[in-house]
Amino acid sequence: MSRIDKKERIIQSAIDVFSEKGIEKATISEIVKKAGIAQGTFYLYFSSKLAVMPAIAEVMVNKILEGLNKKVSGGPIQQQINDIIHVIFDLTETYKELTKLLYTGLTQTQYVGNWEIIYAPLYEWIEELLRNGMKDQVIDSELNVKYTAKIIVGTIESAAEQAYLYDQQETEAVKEHQKELYYFLIKALGAHT
Amino acid sequence: MSRIDKKERIIQSAIDVFSEKGIEKATISEIVKKAGIAQGTFYLYFSSKLAVMPAIAEVMVNKILEGLNKKVSGGPIQQQINDIIHVIFDLTETYKELTKLLYTGLTQTQYVGNWEIIYAPLYEWIEELLRNGMKDQVIDSELNVKYTAKIIVGTIESAAEQAYLYDQQETEAVKEHQKELYYFLIKALGAHT
Amino acid sequence: MSRIDKKERIIQSAIDVFSEKGIEKATISEIVKKAGIAQGTFYLYFSSKLAVMPAIAEVMVNKILEGLNKKVSGGPIQQQINDIIHVIFDLTETYKELTKLLYTGLTQTQYVGNWEIIYAPLYEWIEELLRNGMKDQVIDSELNVKYTAKIIVGTIESAAEQAYLYDQQETEAVKEHQKELYYFLIKALGAHT
Amino acid sequence: MSRIDKKERIIQSAIDVFSEKGIEKATISEIVKKAGIAQGTFYLYFSSKLAVMPAIAEVMVNKILEGLNKKVSGGPIQQQINDIIHVIFDLTETYKELTKLLYTGLTQTQYVGNWEIIYAPLYEWIEELLRNGMKDQVIDSELNVKYTAKIIVGTIESAAEQAYLYDQQETEAVKEHQKELYYFLIKALGAHT
DNA sequence: AATGAATGAGACTTCATTCAT
DNA sequence: TATGAATGAAGTCTCATTCAT
């Protein structure tokens, strides 16, 4: 097993354990046990439980980007917004606590600053979408691309967390929530419904 | 010192310690020390560190409600939205990590369900605002009041966290972010800018 | 069991364990086990293994002082020197490694400075002896009391350590060593043999 | 790099690390790091951390012998005693903790017995000096050469440790201490001051 | 002979929780 | 009700030692 393998295994195992137990109750002991490596080996790669957070965050953002690239069609902006909503909702459902955990985990460490760097590619992806929409004159041409991208991501993520994490909504309610969110965003962007 | 005093002191002290140390590193020892009570006394009021969370959440939501009631004018919907943004941004700045911590803290316990109950008054406040706006025909009459209220709260809170917590923006950038958020919401609600 | 009892027990147990195992191999686990207290209790009294050192040093110096007060006669200076030699040799034999350990233990910590304070009463005891001898004109009247006291203690202690610790001399050799040491000191002090 | 080079480097590095950290906190990791060799390589030369001690002791005794041979004049015994004091004080100042560490380090191992062997050449050097002094009738002809040599070495070393290690005396005080020690030894040996 | 990643035993340390006062 | 010393379980982390390369 190579060095890189070991590190990957730790990250993957940490994702599992954090998801299941939460940051508080997650232990390095359990992470290494699940990763199938020795206790001391953990410390060759990470200095503490929370030091794994940035690596996990990167994995998560990559999953979102992958999802966006795979699932978001090249069609009209309305369809694209709808696809983005579904991608983020699906990932949030799959990884439930993890996203929230990441925020908290990072804020509890010296790595808060990393957050922006890690999320940058995602924001850029949305910014590109907005710029194209503005170029095609299908969305409000006066909006600030940078902040709007952040607002959109925050809005969708918080809605998804609401739906799956706090409300623990039924499938039907989730659909309703998504639909409302869709109209909300479409209007906010000045696109035609 | 009465029972209620003691309990209040524990909650306040817990807010301080959680804010400063995060959930992970906060200890009951420090909470009781700051509260000026004995170790054992804590357990007369709360069963564990995380059991204080719902009480803290309630305090926070009350602060938001207080802020809304005090700061949000009776004027046009646009002005009200603007006021709401400022109230939530200000509280987020003051209590920085605390909101996030609350989410995480609650999700790590049996109290997740409480979240909705605690936030209910806040959502109702916004829902009332929306209903009035619809009645006055100043906002989109077709939107779903319940989900829209949640979406609005989520959007503003996530933007505030972005601004103060992750980006650690300068005053100017925050203002820009707030302005963009304002237009975003106004449009989303179908109100005239 | 009172607070003081607990602390005393830790110190006594630490003396035993350090003597038996040396600083390196002594563990807090074993100290508490022998003291019959819980692991965590140790930390209520001392912050680390080495932090017990000054307390042990004090105990040792007190033992020496006790011995001097009890065993050293009020007779002629020659007899007194002889008695001092025996007291220090006896204690060194009983506590073998401990004295050396103390030096090392203290130098490995922030407590080096304490050494002088702890040894002060012993030096004073010897200084008093010297001053009396000078007053009675039985020893060299020109010697510096302060440094000579230190030199005497150092000379006797190092000889005792030589005898018992490094050379591990037989009884006869020890007697010979002591006798030679006696003449050495008598002459150094300018007393008549 | 030859075998001998490697071994020398380990010993030198161990001296540095032991001096800086003390036996307790010195680690093989740091010794090899400073020596510029791999972890495993250490074990090709020494079986443990403490097994380096005898080698270090030898280095130290050689330094003392070198110093004596170089610095101690062929003049009158008084001058020679004075030179010896300076040599041992200087080395003690340079290597501060190391001498004490050696004692302790050796006593914590199976190598205690080695101590006498290692120190033998030093004692012989002093014994030779004493025998010459006796032959020349400049010192007490009745003293036991063997024990007196040990006592002298112990007296000077303990005084030097007092001065530099525990008291951390200023230059002036050290000179005073040395002067007193000089008269002390001269008188003890029955030489004329 | 040399390497250094990996190991895992075990020491250290913390801290929630208890309970006699 | 309130206290806080004592507990000891459990987690963190280090580091000597091994072994495949």
DSSP per residue, A31-68: HHHHHT--HHHHHHH-SSSGGGHHHHHHHHHHHHHHHH
Segment C89-104, tens digit of pLDDT:
999 998 877 877 787 7
Angstrom CA distances, A37 to A26, A188, C46, D16, stand at 16, 50, 35, 35
Asked whether residue B119 is assigned to any structural domain, the reply reads yes
Phi-psi region of D22 (alpha: psi -120 to 50; beta: other; left: phi over 0): left
Residue contacts between A and B (CB atoms, under 8 Å): 128
Asked whether residue C157 is assigned to any structural domain, the reply reads yes
Asked whether residue A193 is assigned to any structural domain, the reply reads no
Q: Is C162 on the interface with D (CB under 8 A)?
A: yes
Q: Note the Cα B12 to chain centre separation in Å.
A: 16
CA–C1' A105–F10 (A): 22
Phi-psi region of A7 (alpha: psi -120 to 50; beta: other; left: phi over 0): alpha
Q: How confident is the model at residue C116 (pLDDT cuts 50, 70, 90)?
A: confident
Rounded Cα distance, C28 and C7, in Å: 14
Q: Is D111 on the interface with C (CB under 8 A)?
A: no
In the block, residue with structure tokens 């993520």: A157
Q: Which two tokens stand for residue C76?
A: 């002629």
CA distance D144 to chain C (A): 7
Rounded Cα distance, C8 and C27, in Å: 18
Per the prediction, chain D carries an average pLDDT of 91
Q: Which run of H or E residues covers position D132?
A: helix D114-135
Of all residues in chain C, the percent with pLDDT exceeding 70 is 97
Segment D47-73, tens digit of pLDDT:
999 999 999 999 999 999 999 999 998
Whether residues A37 and A57 fall in one domain: no
Whether residues C38 and C60 fall in one domain: no
Asked whether residue C193 is assigned to any structural domain, the reply reads no
Whether residues C35 and C56 fall in one domain: no
Whether residues A32 and A104 fall in one domain: no
Q: How many domains does chain D have?
A: 2
Q: Is C185 helix (H, G, I), strand (E, B) or coil?
A: helix
- Sort out which chain A residues have CB atoms less than 8 A from B23's CB and list them: 23-24, 104, 108
Per-residue b/e over B137-167, b at no fewer than 16 CB within 10 Å?
Answer: ebbbeebbbbbbbbbbbbbbbbbbbbbbbbb
Segment D98-112, tens digit of pLDDT:
877 787 777 777 777
Structure-model confidence comparison of residues B177 and C108, the more confident one: B177
Instruction: Please provide residue A156's backbone torsions phi and psi, each rounded to the nearest 5 degrees.
Output: -65, -45
Q: Which run of H or E residues covers position C65?
A: helix C53-71
Whether residues D33 and D101 fall in one domain: no
Whether residues D61 and D150 fall in one domain: yes
CATH of the domain at C89: 1.10.357.10
Last residue of a domain, one of C15, C31, C46: C46
Asked whether residue B193 is assigned to any structural domain, the reply reads no
CA–C1' C23–E6 (A): 29
Please judge whether A154 and B155 are an interchain contact, meaning their C-beta atoms are less than 8 angstroms apart. Answer: yes
pLDDT of residue C168: 87
Whether residues B103 and B17 fall in one domain: no
Asked whether residue A24 is assigned to any structural domain, the reply reads yes
Whether residues C56 and C93 fall in one domain: yes
Whether residues C33 and C71 fall in one domain: no
Residue-level pLDDT, tens digit, chain B, 193 residues = 677 789 999 999 999 999 888 888 899 999 999 999 999 999 999 999 989 998 998 999 899 999 999 999 888 999 999 999 999 999 999 887 787 778 777 777 777 777 788 889 999 999 999 999 999 999 999 999 999 999 999 999 999 999 998 888 999 999 999 999 999 999 999 987 6
CA–C1' B1–E21 (A): 21
Three-point CA angle B170, B173, B179, nearest 5°: 140
DSSP characters over B76-114: -HHHHHHHHHHHHHHHHHHHTTHHHHHHHHHHTSTTTTH
Asked whether residue B72 is assigned to any structural domain, the reply reads yes
Whether residues B84 and B173 fall in one domain: yes
Whether residues A63 and A135 fall in one domain: yes
CATH of the domain at B8: 1.10.10.60
- Sign of the Cα torsion D33, D37, D39, D44 reads negative
Cβ contact B15:B98 at 8 Å:
yes
Asked whether residue A78 is assigned to any structural domain, the reply reads yes
Mean pLDDT on D79-87: 96
Whether residues B140 and B167 fall in one domain: yes
Rounded Cα distance, A112 and B167, in Å: 9
Residues 22-51 on chain B lying near strand F, CB distance under 7 A: 37-41, 44
Domain carrying residue D40:
1-46
